[in-house]
Amino acid sequence: MKVSPLTLFLVVLSNELMDVLSSSLKPQRFKGRVQRDRRNIRPNIILIITDDQDVELGSLQVMNKTRRLMEQGGAHFTNAFVTTPMCCPSRSSMLTGKYVHNHNTYTNNENCSSPSWQAMHEPRTFAVYLNNTGYRTAFFGKYLNEYNGSYIPPGWREWVGLIKNSRFYNYTLSRNGFKEKHGFDYSKDYFTDVITNDSINYFRISKKIYPHRPVLMVISHAAPHGPEDSAPQFSELFPNASQHITPSYNYAPNMDKHWIMQFTGAMRPIHMEFTNILQRKRLQTLMSVDDSVNRIFQMLAETGELDNTYVIYTADHGYHIGQFGLVKGKSMPYDFDLRVPFFVRGPNVEPGSIISQLVLNIDLAPTILDIAGLDIPADMDGKSILKLLEPEKPGNRFRSNKRARIWRDTFLIERGKLLRKKEDGTGDAQQTNYLPKYERVKEVCQQAKYQTACEQPGQKWQCVEDSAGRLRLHKCKGTPKVHAGSKKSRSLRGQTYASNHCDCSSNSYRMRQSERRNQRQFLNIHTTHKFKHRFLRTRPIRSVSVELEGEIYDIDLEIADLESLMPQNITMGSYREDKAAGEAVENVMIGEDGSKAGESVLDSVKVTHKCYILANETVHCEKELYQSARAWKDHKGYIDKEIEALQDKIKNLREVRGHLKRKKPEECDCNRKREVAQEVDNKLQLFKENRRKKKDRKIKKRMRKGDSCSLPGLTCFTHNNEHWQTPPYWNLGSFCACTSSNNNTYWCLRTINETHNILFCEFATGFLEYFDMNSDPYQLTNTIHMVDREILNQLHIQLMELRSCQGHKQCTPRTKAAETGNKDGGSFDQHRGQLWDGWEG
């Protein structure tokens, strides 16, 4: 049967129309992250990190390629922050998804790539989880500041890590465990280009050999971190860069802010010129990063992986250049150091979308795990931001009270750790600034413990009104006297054994004269024996009466025997023991022959009521046992039963002894405690001595070099003509500037929602800061004095909870709007409790 072409065409057309109609009648499903023809392949993930890149100073304005590819082609998070504005702590939080107080990397030195970090936290980075599930993982660039290249961190199949801190030339890489040194040749050694080339080559080879295996790559640039060496082709750009001159530029001194801000004055002209050149060189280094991002996208397009790859672009923290008079640096709790760029592009990400929710560096690890389809560990403090990238479903136009998307509006900022105070209380003086001094003293004096005139045990301060009518805090001199009666009543209590208590006092209890007199009267009434004062036995024993076979013999004791019975100072208990011993001696059966009764009487041992063991190790029993068979049998049976009973008792005693050995408490060895305390003191003294010697060596070294920049308690740097090895050069000579202080340790709350945009900080010195960015976007004025006391207490309570939080459930407090539907969305009222008494200074 022949089928005409027209008929065949109509049949095919009808089948296509039926497929289209049937697909249109099916319910619409949510669009997946991956295209239909690649639904079985998990997406690739590329994380691009820059070092010290700011948002507030306009560094993104010159990166046109990155903004076109990431901002216009993906999602832009306008409220992206880091929880700690320092390199190593922030990068550790990125890898683990945890706050600093949970991974314990507090500074760029302490615990940064330490053995503790390697053992506890490095095996739990997002790379380990993805590597275990089939991802081909690779790291290129700067890792942690103190990474020494002696090992390959777990989870990375390809490892090209920079040893130590950021550099562009003359650095060393750890390439899969082998150290690779680089020089000063731009074509072969420029750091940004080297890691870009290595990452592109790795991705191409991986997709060629394993086309269905997803790839995770981290490209960690050194730019724009110092020494700010740019590529030669960009060394003449931006001659008039001025984006860093913000309203807070050279706004100094700031007497309403914490100590380093009060110390820092306005910049000199040489400092201001330095900030201009520094901004220019930083922008020049970012141009190479801009080209790197463009090359990576070209590679993704050429390999056909662009639509199946998530690309995330961010920085480890921000930066300041001249803000508040600080010449350069980071580590401050202000927006110029906390805000970072944050872009995401990938499947199901709406191009050009702007997301205003808070995202943090601790969200990177859970987001990467979520992209890979893995469960997020409960101990991670961050949350996945994927649900923020999902397009909102079209709502009902007749429903006007649609609830907003629930997300955090508050997070914790922490820098450093609380310094250990001295035991004598002579630590750093507390800085208090939220109330005048007389008001604070007035509040303190309302407490009951300060209202008595140094009468309470342990009271150190009392409130006294001066001639002007103002309350003053005076220190109590001496300690409250305790009546003698109370001391004596405590001394006469029964003996008890308190746990974990050791009394090492050498003074034993001595009864008073009246107590001894009362005791003698009691003994005279209730006993027949007469005791002399202090219970001394002054007359020695001269003879012992022994009964043998019904007859009594008086045995005279020799001088040698008297020595063993010489009187000693004894108590009533000792007398009872002597009396029992005397009764035992009186019942001694020495032997068959009465002539032997005087031989070592006191050395015999009574075994049974009829048998004894003498000093010559011979056994003698009563004559009845040797003459009567029945008596012998009965006594032997009695001994057998005694042995059996004693064996059972020994067995039980051994079990009890073993139990006591296992449950033995710590011995109260006062000498050992003193030795341990002395050993600790010696180690402390040695530590202080070594630290002093190290400090002296540093001072001598600086003096030899002519460096007089260092100041106690401050972090300072010296800049000279030799610092920058690439153009534009510095030729205005050397200068000194301080960027931070040792007491710059703080914990802050940052809140951004529909009604609030605030920063509240508590410093380790006790200083408080509060800024309302709705009215003061550049944080110029500390308005802590204008905040209601109740609000301060609520902020303090919430801050204390976040400082000890663990896991995203505790570290992501629900907003007020999410819980009650209130449009305020404020986070002040979500914690209720006892009011905070504030810092005492």
Residues serving a catalytic function are 87
Distance CA 166, CA 225 (A): 7
Question: Which of 812, 744, 823 shows the shortest CA–CA distance to 330?
Answer: 744
Phi, psi of 603 (to 5 degrees): -95, -5
Give the N- to C-terminal CA distance of the chain in Å, as an integer.
Answer: 106
Burial of 599 (0-12, 13-18, 19+ CB in 10 A): middle
Question: Which of 471, 474, 475 shows the shortest CA–CA distance to 439?
Answer: 471
Distance CA 230, CA 727 (A): 8
Distance CA 419, CA 743 (A): 8
CA distances from 74 to 42, 66, 297, 313 (A): 19, 11, 13, 11
Question: Which of 117, 97, 96 shows the shortest CA–CA distance to 105?
Answer: 117
Distance CA 146, CA 52 (A): 17
Helix pair angle (87-96, 364-371), 10° resolution: 30
Burial of 512 (0-12, 13-18, 19+ CB in 10 A): exposed
- The one-letter amino acid code at 730 reads W
Reduced to 3 states (helix: H, G, I; strand: E, B; else coil), residue 549 is coil
Distance CA 796, CA 805 (A): 14
User: Would you state the torsion angle of the CA atoms of residues 756, 762, 763, 768, taken in this order, to the nearest 10 degrees?
Assistant: 80
Distance CA 591, CA 623 (A): 9
CA distances from 790 to 444, 787, 795, 833, 838 (A): 17, 8, 9, 11, 11
Query: What are the residues facing 768 on neighbouring strands?
Result: 762
Helix (H) or strand (E) holding 309: strand 309-315
Q: Are 17 and 10 in contact, with CB atoms under 8 Å apart?
A: no
Distance CA 796, CA 798 (A): 5
Distance CA 311, CA 296 (A): 10
Question: Which of 788, 790, 792 shows the shortest CA–CA distance to 761?
Answer: 792
Helix (H) or strand (E) holding 828: none
